[in-house]
Amino acid sequence: MPHHRVRWRPSVGYGIKLHVWGDRACFTRPEMKVERVSYDVMTPSAARGILDAILWKPQMRWIVERIHVLRPIRFQSLRRNEVGDKASSALTERAMQTGSTAGLGLVVEEKRQQRAATLLTNVAYVIEARFELTDKAGRDDTPAKYLSMFNRRAASGQCFHRPCLGTREFPADFALLTEDAPLPASTLPAEHRDRDLGWMLHDIMGPGRVSQFFRARLTGGVLDVRACLAEGTVT
Amino acid sequence: MTSETAGVTRRHEFVLFFDVQNGNPNGDPDAGNLPRLDPETSQGLVSDVALKRKIRNYVALARPDAPGHEIYMRDGATLNLEHRRAWAAVMPEAKPEDQKKLPKEAKARELTRWMCANFWDIRTFGAVMTTGVNAGQVRGPVQLAFARSVEPVLPLEIAITRLAATTESDAETKGGRTMGRKHIVPYGLYRAHGFVSAPLASHPVKGTGFSDDDLALLFEALGQMFDHDRSAARGEMATRKLVIFRHATALGNAPAHTLFDRVQTLRVHKGEAHEIGADATDNWPPARSFSDYRVTVDREGLPAGVEVIEP
């Protein structure tokens, strides 16, 4: 499952909490990705992507432990013009053999697809995560080094690239929560705090890019990734 | 092919204000081409891709023959043809069957670098180039979010007539006249947020080479793109204000949302100005021009390393 063999580290002590929010989000369900439909909540893989956008090195790997859902889960539909077609490789091959590009064209206007996306609106989460060192870590790479690097960046709003909520048109705002800071107030209605969210993508892993799924449950408004993973996964 | 230029090394955020008068800034294909609306707030929306289309069109128009300023996703563009050109330039000996798979990492980088050097929009927004002939995937430094009107807008449906018919049967049954509909927003001031992630421009491996000149062209495009996008549907659209936050470093010097919060829009009426949605504005007539708004930028106590630019 991991990219690199993991050096064992105690999991306590290197955790971080990041508050993220935005107007819209689309954590696309892989089974409905033509006309995109978002999962109800942020996936661990999307949460990892946000952390990666702030700090990632080959020497480390983020492990998302908990995702707190802070706002009501609401959807909105949005249809856009997209380019849908892939040009056929057979045509390309033929064109290359004949040395002529005639008939190879992919005209954007002709390949238009109007696709609806079912998005989440007005979302906010707290990501609780820790990181592990991979076997690419050298002797100078201590967890404390990366922890302080991450904390410094997140606290001052720095990022390698702008993190997003599923897709790049939905940028994420973020703020670091220090260890003793209280969690932001949640407006998630009481009746939605305990829900079975069904099978959800955990992450896409390893050199083979294998999708791993887990049974996601909200318990008291929290998606406890570790507890859900313990129930078993499928790939 | 241009010589390689250094990528942007400073993070930027920008706020773009543009307005529409008696036009449809972005039709919703789901709602019979009505102007896009946020159903919860009735604020108007303009999608990120609509804005990117206009930026691309402006660059194609403004730099038609400039080397390195080709537009990949252009109207009538031939995507795979461009991939093939990349292959021809980098690996002229490659056989078609080799090209279906992503080549070795270094070669792939060479291909994407060539695409980035030639195509302004790939350098800027990135592109998925995994169609048929595989030239890899590029993430561009520039990211746009949806634009949203600062106040709710009320789209109007205007019925129009035409004194000619398309088909003979229409000509007979309808006496040669047909009717149509136009959807307009009487007035709307829209606000969009954008991000320029410097590492995606200047990083030795992941950078696209998006340069300071490219950035200047992006801001030029944001300022002028509506001037070259006139049509019957759009009405009068114009960029009203562009506020740029330039950080001193690649990773940035302040959280983006704290900078965006410094840009505020006020409603103005008869010399009075109030925050949008303030009780005092309840009986005010709806906004119908940019002079009904005032945009302020709070420059007090800017975080160290952040400068505000208003071109």
Residues 257 through 276 of chain B touching chain A, CB cutoff 8 Å: 257-258
A86 to B132: CB separation less than 8 angstroms, yes or no:
yes
Task: Tell me what pLDDT residue B135 has.
Answer: 46
Q: Is the ipTM of this structure higher than 0.90?
A: no
The residues pairing with B294 across neighbouring beta strands, listed in sequence order, are: B266
Residues 15 through 54 of chain B touching chain A, CB cutoff 8 Å: 28-30, 36, 38-40, 47-49
If one compares A232 and A216, the residue with the highest pLDDT of the two is A216
The helix/strand/coil state of A96 is helix
Q: Render pLDDT for A124-178 as a digit per residue (tens, 0 to 9).
A: 999 999 988 888 888 888 888 889 999 999 999 999 999 999 999 999 999 999 8
For a pLDDT cut of 90, what percent of chain A falls above it? 48
Task: Tell me what pLDDT residue B185 has.
Answer: 95
- Are the beta carbons of A76 and A174 closer than 8 angstroms? no
Task: Tell me what pLDDT residue B142 has.
Answer: 95
B132 to A108: CB separation less than 8 angstroms, yes or no:
no
**Of B139, B151, B153, B123, which is closest to residue B55 (Cα–Cα)?**
B123
Q: Which residues of A touch B29 (CB under 8 A)?
A: 79-81, 114
Rounded Cα distance, B287 and B151, in Å: 9
The residues pairing with B182 across neighbouring beta strands, listed in sequence order, are: B158
Q: Render pLDDT for B150-171 as a digit per residue (tens, 0 to 9).
A: 999 999 999 888 887 777 777 7
Q: Which residues of B touch A174 (CB under 8 A)?
A: 255
Residues 162 through 201 of chain A touching chain B, CB cutoff 8 Å: 162, 164, 168-171, 173-175
pLDDT bucket at A12, cuts 50 / 70 / 90: very low
> Domains of chain A, with CATH numbers?
15-83+117-192 (3.30.70.2660)
Q: Residue A203 is inside which H or E element, if any?
A: strand A195-205
Task: Tell me what pLDDT residue A21 has.
Answer: 96
Rounded Cα distance, B176 and B170, in Å: 6
Residue A93 pLDDT > 50? no
- Are the beta carbons of B256 and B13 closer than 8 angstroms? yes
Q: Residue A233 is inside which H or E element, if any?
A: strand A233-234
Kindly report the nearest CA distance between residue A168 and chain B, in angstroms.
Answer: 7
Interface test with B, best of A108, A165, A167 (most B CBs within 10 A): A108
Rounded Cα distance, B199 and B219, in Å: 19
CB count in 10 Å sphere of residue B12: 22
Q: What's the whole-number average pLDDT of chain B?
A: 84
B255 to A96: CB separation less than 8 angstroms, yes or no:
no
Q: What is the mean pLDDT of residues A76-87?
A: 75
Rounded Cα distance, B101 and A89, in Å: 11
A79 to B255: CB separation less than 8 angstroms, yes or no:
no
Q: What's the whole-number average pLDDT of chain A?
A: 83
Rounded Cα distance, A214 and A228, in Å: 7
Residue B202 pLDDT > 70? yes
The residues pairing with B178 across neighbouring beta strands, listed in sequence order, are: B162
A76 to B80: CB separation less than 8 angstroms, yes or no:
no
Task: Tell me what pLDDT residue A159 has.
Answer: 93
Residues 77 through 96 of chain A touching chain B, CB cutoff 8 Å: 77-83, 86-89, 91-93, 95-96
Q: What is the mean pLDDT of residues B261-288?
A: 92
Task: Tell me what pLDDT residue A8 has.
Answer: 43
The helix/strand/coil state of A183 is coil
Q: Render pLDDT for B206-249 as a digit per residue (tens, 0 to 9).
A: 888 899 999 999 999 999 999 988 888 899 999 999 999 999 99
Q: Render pLDDT for B30-54 as a digit per residue (tens, 0 to 9).
A: 888 899 999 889 999 999 999 998 9
Q: Which residues of B touch A161 (CB under 8 A)?
A: 139, 141, 143, 197, 199-200
Task: Tell me what pLDDT residue B36 has.
Answer: 94
Got the DSSP string for chain B?
A: -PPP-PPP-S-EEEEEEEEEEEE-SSEEGGGTTEEPB-TTT-EEEE-HHHHHHHHHHHHHHHSSS-TT-B-SS-TT--HHHHHHHHHHHH-TT--GGGGGS---HHHHHHHHHHHHHHBHHHHHHEEE--SSS---EEE-SEEEPPEEEEEE---EEEEEEESS-SSHHHHHHSTT-EEEEEEEEEEEEEEEEEEE-THHHH-TTT-----HHHHHHHHHHHHHGGGG---TTT-EEEEEEEEEEEESSSS-SS-HHHHHTTEEEEEEETTEEEETT-GGGTTSPPP-SGGGEEEEE--TTPPTTEEEE--
Residues 93 through 112 of chain B touching chain A, CB cutoff 8 Å: 96-97, 99-100
